[in-house]
Amino acid sequence: MKGRKINDNVCWVGAADWNRRLFDSLVPLPDGTSYNAYLVRGTEKTALIDTVDPAKSDLLLNQLDGIDRIDYIVAQHAEQDHSGSIPMLLGKYPDAKVVSTPKAQGMLLDLLGIPEKRVLTVEDGKTLSLGNKTLEFIYTPWVHWPETMCTYLPEDKILFSCDFFGSHLATTDLYVTNQAAVYEAAKRYYAEIMMPFRSIIRKNMEKVDAHDIKMIAPSHGPVYDQPGFILDAYRDWISDSVKNEVVLPYISMHGSTQKMTDYLADSLSERGVKVHIFDLTVTDIGKLAIALVDAATIVIGTPTVHIGPHPAVYYAAHLANVLRPKLRYASIIGSYGWSSKAIEQIAGLIPNLKVEILDPVLCRGYPQGETFAALDKLATMIADRHTKL
Ligand code: FEO
Protein backbone atom coordinates (compact mmCIF):
# COMPACT_ATOMS: atom_id res chain seq x y z
CA MET A 1 0.00 0.00 0.00
CA LYS A 2 1.13 3.53 -0.71
CA GLY A 3 -0.86 6.34 0.86
CA ARG A 4 0.32 8.64 3.62
CA LYS A 5 0.58 7.47 7.19
CA ILE A 6 -1.26 9.39 9.91
CA ASN A 7 -0.44 6.78 12.56
CA ASP A 8 0.21 3.03 12.65
CA ASN A 9 -3.43 2.24 11.92
CA VAL A 10 -4.72 5.20 9.93
CA CYS A 11 -3.56 6.15 6.47
CA TRP A 12 -4.65 8.81 3.94
CA VAL A 13 -5.34 7.17 0.60
CA GLY A 14 -7.06 10.00 -1.29
CA ALA A 15 -6.39 11.95 -4.48
CA ALA A 16 -5.58 15.57 -5.28
CA ASP A 17 -7.39 17.15 -8.23
CA TRP A 18 -5.10 20.02 -9.16
CA ASN A 19 -6.87 21.14 -12.32
CA ARG A 20 -10.54 21.07 -11.36
CA ARG A 21 -11.93 24.59 -11.52
CA LEU A 22 -15.65 24.11 -10.94
CA PHE A 23 -17.59 21.94 -8.50
CA ASP A 24 -21.20 20.91 -9.10
CA SER A 25 -20.87 22.98 -12.30
CA LEU A 26 -21.38 25.95 -9.98
CA VAL A 27 -18.76 26.51 -7.31
CA PRO A 28 -15.41 28.05 -8.38
CA LEU A 29 -12.32 26.09 -7.28
CA PRO A 30 -9.43 28.56 -7.64
CA ASP A 31 -7.04 26.11 -5.97
CA GLY A 32 -8.38 22.77 -7.20
CA THR A 33 -9.51 20.29 -4.56
CA SER A 34 -8.75 16.92 -3.02
CA TYR A 35 -10.90 13.87 -2.31
CA ASN A 36 -9.65 12.37 0.93
CA ALA A 37 -10.20 8.72 1.78
CA TYR A 38 -8.76 7.12 4.91
CA LEU A 39 -7.90 3.50 5.60
CA VAL A 40 -8.39 2.45 9.24
CA ARG A 41 -6.99 -0.95 10.19
CA GLY A 42 -8.08 -2.75 13.36
CA THR A 43 -6.91 -6.12 14.62
CA GLU A 44 -9.97 -7.81 13.11
CA LYS A 45 -11.44 -5.58 10.41
CA THR A 46 -10.35 -2.92 7.97
CA ALA A 47 -12.47 0.09 7.02
CA LEU A 48 -12.13 2.64 4.25
CA ILE A 49 -13.70 5.98 5.12
CA ASP A 50 -15.06 7.64 1.96
CA THR A 51 -13.68 7.09 -1.53
CA VAL A 52 -12.79 9.56 -4.30
CA ASP A 53 -14.41 11.16 -7.31
CA PRO A 54 -14.67 8.55 -10.10
CA ALA A 55 -12.41 10.71 -12.29
CA LYS A 56 -9.60 9.93 -9.84
CA SER A 57 -10.43 6.30 -8.99
CA ASP A 58 -7.18 5.12 -10.58
CA LEU A 59 -5.25 7.11 -7.95
CA LEU A 60 -7.27 5.49 -5.16
CA LEU A 61 -6.63 2.03 -6.58
CA ASN A 62 -2.95 2.81 -6.74
CA GLN A 63 -3.00 3.88 -3.08
CA LEU A 64 -4.72 0.61 -2.12
CA ASP A 65 -2.21 -1.56 -3.94
CA GLY A 66 -1.40 -4.46 -1.61
CA ILE A 67 -4.57 -4.15 0.48
CA ASP A 68 -6.21 -7.55 0.00
CA ARG A 69 -9.24 -7.06 2.19
CA ILE A 70 -11.56 -4.21 3.07
CA ASP A 71 -14.49 -5.13 5.31
CA TYR A 72 -16.31 -1.81 5.45
CA ILE A 73 -16.52 1.16 3.11
CA VAL A 74 -17.97 3.99 5.17
CA ALA A 75 -20.00 6.29 2.91
CA GLN A 76 -20.31 9.41 5.05
CA HIS A 77 -22.00 11.30 2.22
CA ALA A 78 -23.66 10.05 -0.96
CA GLU A 79 -22.36 12.81 -3.25
CA GLN A 80 -20.25 11.33 -6.00
CA ASP A 81 -17.00 13.09 -5.14
CA HIS A 82 -16.89 10.78 -2.10
CA SER A 83 -19.08 7.85 -3.08
CA GLY A 84 -18.42 7.63 -6.82
CA SER A 85 -15.68 5.01 -6.58
CA ILE A 86 -17.71 2.68 -4.33
CA PRO A 87 -19.10 0.51 -7.20
CA MET A 88 -15.58 -0.10 -8.48
CA LEU A 89 -14.37 -1.01 -4.96
CA LEU A 90 -17.30 -3.36 -4.36
CA GLY A 91 -16.09 -5.28 -7.39
CA LYS A 92 -12.52 -5.37 -6.14
CA TYR A 93 -13.53 -6.30 -2.58
CA PRO A 94 -16.52 -8.67 -2.97
CA ASP A 95 -16.97 -9.18 0.80
CA ALA A 96 -16.98 -5.49 1.65
CA LYS A 97 -20.11 -3.83 3.03
CA VAL A 98 -20.97 -0.17 2.54
CA VAL A 99 -21.79 1.56 5.85
CA SER A 100 -24.12 4.56 5.71
CA THR A 101 -27.09 6.31 7.25
CA PRO A 102 -30.47 4.94 6.12
CA LYS A 103 -31.06 8.14 4.15
CA ALA A 104 -27.72 7.77 2.38
CA GLN A 105 -28.54 4.16 1.55
CA GLY A 106 -31.46 5.26 -0.62
CA MET A 107 -29.30 7.84 -2.37
CA LEU A 108 -26.49 5.34 -3.00
CA LEU A 109 -29.00 2.97 -4.58
CA ASP A 110 -30.51 5.75 -6.70
CA LEU A 111 -27.30 7.50 -7.74
CA LEU A 112 -24.86 4.62 -8.11
CA GLY A 113 -26.98 1.49 -8.45
CA ILE A 114 -25.33 -0.11 -5.42
CA PRO A 115 -27.18 -3.36 -4.46
CA GLU A 116 -29.20 -2.89 -1.26
CA LYS A 117 -27.80 -6.10 0.24
CA ARG A 118 -24.29 -4.60 0.14
CA VAL A 119 -25.29 -1.70 2.42
CA LEU A 120 -25.25 -1.83 6.21
CA THR A 121 -27.11 1.10 7.75
CA VAL A 122 -26.10 2.56 11.10
CA GLU A 123 -28.02 4.68 13.58
CA ASP A 124 -26.82 7.94 15.07
CA GLY A 125 -24.31 7.30 17.88
CA LYS A 126 -23.88 3.61 17.09
CA THR A 127 -20.45 1.99 16.91
CA LEU A 128 -18.77 -0.62 14.76
CA SER A 129 -15.83 -2.60 16.09
CA LEU A 130 -12.71 -3.22 14.01
CA GLY A 131 -11.15 -5.20 16.87
CA ASN A 132 -8.87 -2.85 18.76
CA LYS A 133 -10.38 0.18 16.95
CA THR A 134 -13.93 1.50 17.05
CA LEU A 135 -15.90 3.61 14.59
CA GLU A 136 -18.61 5.81 16.14
CA PHE A 137 -21.07 7.35 13.72
CA ILE A 138 -22.34 10.86 14.36
CA TYR A 139 -25.20 12.10 12.21
CA THR A 140 -24.41 15.60 10.97
CA PRO A 141 -27.19 16.42 8.51
CA TRP A 142 -26.88 19.26 6.00
CA VAL A 143 -23.13 19.65 6.07
CA HIS A 144 -24.09 19.55 2.46
CA TRP A 145 -26.91 17.07 1.87
CA PRO A 146 -29.42 15.78 4.44
CA GLU A 147 -27.91 12.29 4.76
CA THR A 148 -24.41 13.20 5.93
CA MET A 149 -22.56 11.81 8.95
CA CYS A 150 -19.13 12.01 10.55
CA THR A 151 -17.12 9.11 11.98
CA TYR A 152 -15.18 9.29 15.24
CA LEU A 153 -12.28 7.01 16.07
CA PRO A 154 -12.09 7.22 19.90
CA GLU A 155 -8.86 5.27 20.36
CA ASP A 156 -7.00 7.92 18.31
CA LYS A 157 -9.38 10.85 18.94
CA ILE A 158 -9.73 11.46 15.19
CA LEU A 159 -12.92 12.89 13.68
CA PHE A 160 -13.48 12.02 10.02
CA SER A 161 -15.77 14.84 8.95
CA CYS A 162 -16.33 14.53 5.17
CA ASP A 163 -17.54 17.95 3.84
CA PHE A 164 -17.79 19.38 7.40
CA PHE A 165 -14.67 21.53 8.02
CA GLY A 166 -13.55 20.78 4.46
CA SER A 167 -11.59 23.09 2.16
CA HIS A 168 -11.20 22.90 -1.58
CA LEU A 169 -7.42 22.85 -1.81
CA ALA A 170 -5.17 20.65 -3.90
CA THR A 171 -1.98 20.29 -1.91
CA THR A 172 0.79 17.84 -1.19
CA ASP A 173 0.55 18.81 2.50
CA LEU A 174 -1.08 16.07 4.57
CA TYR A 175 -1.60 18.54 7.44
CA VAL A 176 -2.48 22.23 7.54
CA THR A 177 0.75 24.19 7.12
CA ASN A 178 -0.69 27.58 6.19
CA GLN A 179 -3.63 28.40 8.46
CA ALA A 180 -4.48 31.65 6.66
CA ALA A 181 -4.83 29.90 3.28
CA VAL A 182 -6.88 27.06 4.75
CA TYR A 183 -9.04 29.52 6.69
CA GLU A 184 -9.95 31.31 3.44
CA ALA A 185 -10.67 28.05 1.59
CA ALA A 186 -12.67 26.59 4.50
CA LYS A 187 -14.69 29.80 4.85
CA ARG A 188 -15.46 29.69 1.13
CA TYR A 189 -16.58 26.08 1.59
CA TYR A 190 -18.79 26.93 4.57
CA ALA A 191 -20.28 29.93 2.75
CA GLU A 192 -21.17 28.04 -0.40
CA ILE A 193 -22.67 24.88 1.05
CA MET A 194 -23.34 25.16 4.79
CA MET A 195 -24.35 28.78 5.43
CA PRO A 196 -28.00 28.17 4.40
CA PHE A 197 -28.25 25.59 7.23
CA ARG A 198 -26.55 27.62 9.97
CA SER A 199 -28.93 26.60 12.75
CA ILE A 200 -28.49 22.91 11.93
CA ILE A 201 -24.71 23.29 11.65
CA ARG A 202 -24.81 24.77 15.13
CA LYS A 203 -26.47 21.58 16.45
CA ASN A 204 -23.89 19.49 14.60
CA MET A 205 -21.13 21.51 16.26
CA GLU A 206 -22.63 20.69 19.67
CA LYS A 207 -22.47 16.98 18.83
CA VAL A 208 -18.88 17.29 17.66
CA ASP A 209 -17.93 19.34 20.72
CA ALA A 210 -19.10 16.48 22.96
CA HIS A 211 -16.12 14.46 21.70
CA ASP A 212 -12.46 14.73 22.64
CA ILE A 213 -10.88 15.59 19.30
CA LYS A 214 -7.15 15.56 18.65
CA MET A 215 -7.36 15.65 14.87
CA ILE A 216 -10.00 16.42 12.22
CA ALA A 217 -9.65 14.55 8.94
CA PRO A 218 -12.04 16.09 6.39
CA SER A 219 -12.67 14.63 2.94
CA HIS A 220 -11.47 17.81 1.18
CA GLY A 221 -8.29 19.73 1.98
CA PRO A 222 -5.54 19.09 4.50
CA VAL A 223 -5.96 17.34 7.87
CA TYR A 224 -6.25 19.55 10.96
CA ASP A 225 -3.67 18.33 13.47
CA GLN A 226 -4.49 21.45 15.52
CA PRO A 227 -8.28 21.39 15.20
CA GLY A 228 -8.89 24.29 17.59
CA PHE A 229 -8.31 26.78 14.79
CA ILE A 230 -11.05 25.46 12.49
CA LEU A 231 -13.46 24.77 15.36
CA ASP A 232 -13.08 28.38 16.54
CA ALA A 233 -13.57 29.65 12.99
CA TYR A 234 -16.81 27.68 12.63
CA ARG A 235 -18.03 28.95 16.00
CA ASP A 236 -17.54 32.49 14.72
CA TRP A 237 -19.25 31.86 11.35
CA ILE A 238 -22.33 30.17 12.84
CA SER A 239 -22.73 32.72 15.64
CA ASP A 240 -25.42 35.40 15.46
CA SER A 241 -22.91 38.25 15.52
CA VAL A 242 -22.36 40.32 12.39
CA LYS A 243 -19.52 42.67 11.55
CA ASN A 244 -19.49 46.38 10.72
CA GLU A 245 -19.22 45.54 7.02
CA VAL A 246 -21.16 46.19 3.82
CA VAL A 247 -21.12 43.86 0.81
CA LEU A 248 -21.65 45.83 -2.38
CA PRO A 249 -22.11 43.69 -5.52
CA TYR A 250 -22.86 45.80 -8.60
CA ILE A 251 -22.94 46.11 -12.36
CA SER A 252 -22.47 49.30 -14.36
CA MET A 253 -23.05 49.70 -18.10
CA HIS A 254 -22.19 53.34 -18.82
CA GLY A 255 -20.61 54.51 -15.58
CA SER A 256 -23.60 55.87 -13.63
CA THR A 257 -23.95 52.95 -11.21
CA GLN A 258 -20.15 52.73 -11.02
CA LYS A 259 -20.00 56.35 -9.87
CA MET A 260 -22.75 55.74 -7.30
CA THR A 261 -21.00 52.61 -6.03
CA ASP A 262 -17.67 54.36 -5.65
CA TYR A 263 -19.29 57.35 -3.96
CA LEU A 264 -21.23 55.21 -1.49
CA ALA A 265 -18.16 53.11 -0.70
CA ASP A 266 -16.16 56.28 0.08
CA SER A 267 -18.99 57.70 2.15
CA LEU A 268 -19.31 54.49 4.16
CA SER A 269 -15.56 54.29 4.63
CA GLU A 270 -15.49 57.87 5.95
CA ARG A 271 -18.05 56.75 8.52
CA GLY A 272 -15.90 53.81 9.66
CA VAL A 273 -17.73 51.06 7.77
CA LYS A 274 -15.70 48.42 5.91
CA VAL A 275 -16.93 47.80 2.34
CA HIS A 276 -16.44 44.76 0.08
CA ILE A 277 -17.08 45.75 -3.56
CA PHE A 278 -17.73 43.13 -6.25
CA ASP A 279 -17.97 44.02 -9.95
CA LEU A 280 -20.24 41.19 -11.06
CA THR A 281 -18.81 41.17 -14.58
CA VAL A 282 -15.55 39.74 -13.25
CA THR A 283 -16.08 38.64 -9.67
CA ASP A 284 -15.48 35.16 -8.27
CA ILE A 285 -18.83 34.33 -6.67
CA GLY A 286 -17.01 32.34 -4.00
CA LYS A 287 -15.40 35.57 -2.75
CA LEU A 288 -18.82 37.22 -2.69
CA ALA A 289 -20.14 34.27 -0.65
CA ILE A 290 -17.22 34.58 1.80
CA ALA A 291 -17.94 38.28 2.36
CA LEU A 292 -21.59 37.47 3.07
CA VAL A 293 -20.66 35.21 6.02
CA ASP A 294 -20.00 38.12 8.40
CA ALA A 295 -21.41 41.32 6.92
CA ALA A 296 -24.26 43.24 8.54
CA THR A 297 -25.48 44.85 5.31
CA ILE A 298 -25.77 44.22 1.60
CA VAL A 299 -26.24 47.04 -0.91
CA ILE A 300 -26.95 45.85 -4.46
CA GLY A 301 -26.04 48.16 -7.34
CA THR A 302 -27.66 47.84 -10.75
CA PRO A 303 -28.35 49.70 -13.96
CA THR A 304 -31.75 49.20 -15.56
CA VAL A 305 -32.03 46.72 -18.45
CA HIS A 306 -35.47 46.34 -20.04
CA ILE A 307 -37.15 47.91 -16.99
CA GLY A 308 -35.52 45.51 -14.46
CA PRO A 309 -32.07 44.88 -12.99
CA HIS A 310 -29.14 43.65 -15.06
CA PRO A 311 -29.33 39.80 -15.37
CA ALA A 312 -26.02 39.38 -13.51
CA VAL A 313 -27.55 41.30 -10.61
CA TYR A 314 -30.56 38.96 -10.70
CA TYR A 315 -28.12 36.07 -10.30
CA ALA A 316 -26.21 37.67 -7.42
CA ALA A 317 -29.43 38.59 -5.59
CA HIS A 318 -30.75 35.05 -6.05
CA LEU A 319 -27.46 33.63 -4.79
CA ALA A 320 -27.55 35.84 -1.68
CA ASN A 321 -31.15 34.74 -1.11
CA VAL A 322 -30.38 31.01 -1.27
CA LEU A 323 -27.22 31.28 0.84
CA ARG A 324 -29.25 32.96 3.64
CA PRO A 325 -26.43 34.93 5.27
CA LYS A 326 -27.06 36.53 8.65
CA LEU A 327 -27.45 40.02 7.16
CA ARG A 328 -29.48 42.56 9.10
CA TYR A 329 -29.92 45.32 6.50
CA ALA A 330 -30.22 45.66 2.73
CA SER A 331 -30.52 48.44 0.22
CA ILE A 332 -30.40 48.97 -3.52
CA ILE A 333 -28.74 51.67 -5.57
CA GLY A 334 -28.78 52.13 -9.32
CA SER A 335 -29.57 54.09 -12.40
CA TYR A 336 -31.97 54.17 -15.32
CA GLY A 337 -32.57 56.01 -18.58
CA TRP A 338 -36.34 56.55 -18.77
CA SER A 339 -38.12 54.18 -16.33
CA SER A 340 -37.25 51.35 -13.94
CA LYS A 341 -38.76 48.62 -11.81
CA ALA A 342 -35.31 47.46 -10.66
CA ILE A 343 -35.89 48.16 -6.96
CA GLU A 344 -39.18 46.29 -6.75
CA GLN A 345 -37.81 43.36 -8.74
CA ILE A 346 -34.64 43.00 -6.63
CA ALA A 347 -36.62 43.30 -3.40
CA GLY A 348 -38.81 40.45 -4.66
CA LEU A 349 -35.74 38.25 -5.19
CA ILE A 350 -34.57 38.22 -1.55
CA PRO A 351 -37.46 36.94 0.61
CA ASN A 352 -35.13 34.64 2.62
CA LEU A 353 -33.08 37.58 3.88
CA LYS A 354 -34.54 38.69 7.19
CA VAL A 355 -33.40 42.26 6.69
CA GLU A 356 -34.64 45.77 7.17
CA ILE A 357 -34.64 47.49 3.78
CA LEU A 358 -32.97 50.88 4.02
CA ASP A 359 -34.00 53.70 1.64
CA PRO A 360 -32.88 52.75 -1.91
CA VAL A 361 -31.29 55.36 -4.17
CA LEU A 362 -32.24 55.35 -7.85
CA CYS A 363 -30.87 57.94 -10.23
CA ARG A 364 -32.00 58.97 -13.74
CA GLY A 365 -28.93 59.39 -15.93
CA TYR A 366 -25.53 60.28 -14.46
CA PRO A 367 -25.54 60.98 -10.70
CA GLN A 368 -25.39 64.57 -9.56
CA GLY A 369 -25.78 66.56 -6.33
CA GLU A 370 -29.17 65.25 -5.26
CA THR A 371 -28.10 61.61 -5.75
CA PHE A 372 -24.84 62.12 -3.85
CA ALA A 373 -26.80 63.65 -0.96
CA ALA A 374 -29.11 60.61 -0.93
CA LEU A 375 -26.10 58.28 -0.93
CA ASP A 376 -24.56 60.16 2.00
CA LYS A 377 -27.87 59.81 3.83
CA LEU A 378 -27.88 56.07 3.14
CA ALA A 379 -24.29 55.77 4.37
CA THR A 380 -25.17 57.62 7.57
CA MET A 381 -28.18 55.37 8.12
CA ILE A 382 -26.08 52.22 7.64
CA ALA A 383 -23.30 53.48 9.94
CA ASP A 384 -25.85 54.40 12.63
CA ARG A 385 -27.53 51.01 12.40
CA HIS A 386 -24.16 49.27 12.66
CA THR A 387 -23.18 51.17 15.80
CA LYS A 388 -26.30 49.74 17.48
CA LEU A 389 -25.52 46.11 16.57
FE1 FEO B 1 -17.63 16.90 -1.08
FE2 FEO B 1 -20.94 17.34 -0.86
O3 FEO B 1 -19.39 16.60 -1.48
Which ligand 1 atom is nearest residue 35's CA? 1
Distance 141 CA to ligand 1 centre (A): 12
Q: How confident is the model at residue 383 (pLDDT cuts 50, 70, 90)?
A: very high
Distance 363 CA to ligand 1 centre (A): 44
The residue length of the chain stands at 389
Which ligand 1 atom is nearest residue 148's CA? 2
> Can you tell me the distance from the alpha carbon of 358 to that of 261, in angstroms, rounded to the nearest whole number?
16
Q: How confident is the model at residue 230 (pLDDT cuts 50, 70, 90)?
A: very high
SS3 assignment for 207-255? HHHCCCCCEEEECCCCEECCCHHHHHHHHHHHCCCCEEEEEEEECCCCC
pLDDT tens digits, one per residue of 70-102: 999 999 999 999 999 999 999 999 999 999 999
Q: Is the CB of 133 under 6 A from ligand 1?
A: no
Q: Is the CB of 376 under 6 A from ligand 1?
A: no
| Average pLDDT, integer, range 46-58 | 98
Q: Is the CB of 20 under 6 A from ligand 1?
A: no
Which ligand 1 atom is nearest residue 162's CA? 1
> Can you tell me the distance from the alpha carbon of 230 to that of 228, in angstroms, rounded to the nearest whole number?
6
Return the closest-CA partner of residue 48 out of 94, 8, 99, 84: 99
Q: Whose CA is nearest to atom 3 of ligand 1?
A: 79
pLDDT at 2: 80
Return the closest-CA partner of residue 332 out of 292, 360, 305, 306: 360
Q: At what angle do helices 285-292 and 179-189 cross, to 10 degrees?
A: 90
Give CA angle at 246 (252, 317), nearest 5°. 55
pLDDT tens digits, one per residue of 350-368: 999 999 999 999 999 999 9
Residue 231, pLDDT above cutoff 70 = yes
Reported pTM: 0.96
Which ligand 1 atom is nearest residue 145's CA? 2
Q: CA–CA distance from 360 to each of 314, 340, 365, 387 (Å)?
A: 17, 13, 16, 20
Q: Is the CB of 77 under 6 A from ligand 1?
A: yes
Q: Is the CB of 53 under 6 A from ligand 1?
A: no
Q: Is the CB of 82 under 6 A from ligand 1?
A: yes
Q: Is the CB of 79 under 6 A from ligand 1?
A: yes
In degrees and rounded to multiples of 5, residue 295 shows phi and psi of: -65, 150
Residue 326, pLDDT above cutoff 90 = yes
Q: At what angle do helices 342-349 and 311-323 cross, to 10 degrees?
A: 30
pLDDT at 1: 62
pLDDT tens digits, one per residue of 6-25: 999 999 999 999 999 999 98
Q: Is the CB of 220 under 6 A from ligand 1?
A: yes
| Average pLDDT, integer, range 319-335 | 97
Q: Whose CA is nearest to atom 1 of ligand 1?
A: 163
Distance 82 CA to ligand 1 centre (A): 7
Instruction: For residue 140, give the DSSP letter.
Output: -
Domains in the chain (CATH in brackets) are: 4-237 (3.60.15.10), 247-384 (3.40.50.360)
Distance 104 CA to ligand 1 centre (A): 13
pLDDT tens digits, one per residue of 269-306: 999 999 999 999 999 999 999 999 999 999 999 999 99
Return the closest-CA partner of residue 350 out of 307, 317, 326, 311: 317
In degrees and rounded to multiples of 5, residue 131 shows phi and psi of: 105, -105
> Can you tell me the distance from the alpha carbon of 272 to that of 387, in angstroms, rounded to the nearest whole number?
10
Distance 81 CA to ligand 1 centre (A): 6
Distance 339 CA to ligand 1 centre (A): 44
Which ligand 1 atom is nearest residue 80's CA? 3
Q: Is the CB of 31 under 6 A from ligand 1?
A: no
3-state secondary structure of 31: coil
pLDDT, the chain, mean: 97
pLDDT tens digits, one per residue of 104-138: 999 999 999 999 999 999 999 999 999 999 999 99
